[in-house]
Amino acid sequence: MSQTILLTGANGGVSRMIRPMLLERYGSIICSARRPMDDLVEGESFRLANLDSPDELRAACRGVDGIIHMGGQATEASWEVIRESNIDGMMNLFEAARAEGVKRVIFASSNHAVGMYPRTRKVGTEARVRPDSRYGLSKAFGEALGAMYADKHGMRVLSIRIGNVGLQPLDMRRMSMWLHPEDLVQLCAIGLEHPDLHHEIVYGLSDCIRSFWDNGAAYSLGYRPKHKAEDHLQAAIEGQKSQDANPIADAFVGGGFAGTEFDGDLDRALWS
C-alpha cells in the first residue's frame, strides 16, 4: 500500500526493531528524532523534529499520510520531563498533524495507562484508565487526545497499549504482556490501512494465553498475531529467577512502575 509514513522516535529501541519491516511493507519511511541519525539505510530519510518545537513538527509532518508516534519520554521521570515530552509534546504533534492534513496517527501508548489493575483481573480496553505512574498518566492523556482529534478533526487514530516488545519474554510478568516486533508492525499496519478505523485502543500483545488483558478490540479489526508467548515459556521461567520479589509491585499489572512511590492502601487499591 503506497503511503508516506513518518516514524517519530525512530532512533529508539523499539523503532529500530520495526523499521526494517515497515520499510519492507511501505517501500520508504521518513524517520524523525530530536538528534541526527547515523544508521539510515536505503529507503529511509530523516527529518529533525523536537516535540517542543511546533515548527519542526509541522515540517516533519508535511506531505505525510500517516504517523507512527514512538517518540517522547519512554520511562518514568519527573513531572516536568513527562509534561514537556508526553503532554505538551503530544499536543504539539497532533496539532502539527492536523495542520498538515495527516490522515492517520498510530500512538504508542502503554500498559502503564492501566498498570494499577491487579493481575487477577482480565481488563478490556473499555475499562477506565488506572495509570500506575506519571508516565502512565501521560499515556492515558495521549489516548484521550487521539479520541478528540478523531472526533473533532476527522483523523483516524489507533492507540496501542504496548506491553513489552522483544524477541522473547524476559520473565513471567512479561510473559503475560509480550509483543513480538512483527506483531507490532501488524498492529501499526491496521492503524495505517484499516478502512473503517475511527478511534480505537488496542493492547500491544502477541498470542499470550496468560495475558492480563482482553484484546478483543484488536481482533475485531483483523489482528491475528503470529507469535506465541508459550513457545518461550522456559526462557521466561529462567528470567524470573533473577527477579526480586516485591509484594506491591507483584500485585499489579504495572509491576515496578506501580510499586515505586506507593504509599496507599494496598487492599483498597487491589479491590476497587
Per-residue H/E/C for 129-149: CCCCCHHHHHHHHHHHHHHHH
Residue type (1 letter), 49: A
Residue type (1 letter), 39: D
Catalytic (active site) residue 135: yes
- Indicate the SS3 state at residue 220: helix
Q: Exactly one of 135, 149, 203, 223 is catalytic; name it.
A: 135
Q: Which residues pair with 159 in a beta bridge?
A: 107, 201
**Cβ partners under 8 Å of residue 74, min gap 6:** 9, 12
Grid cell locating 244: 526480586
Distance CA 263, CA 272 (A): 16
- Please list the active-site residues: 135
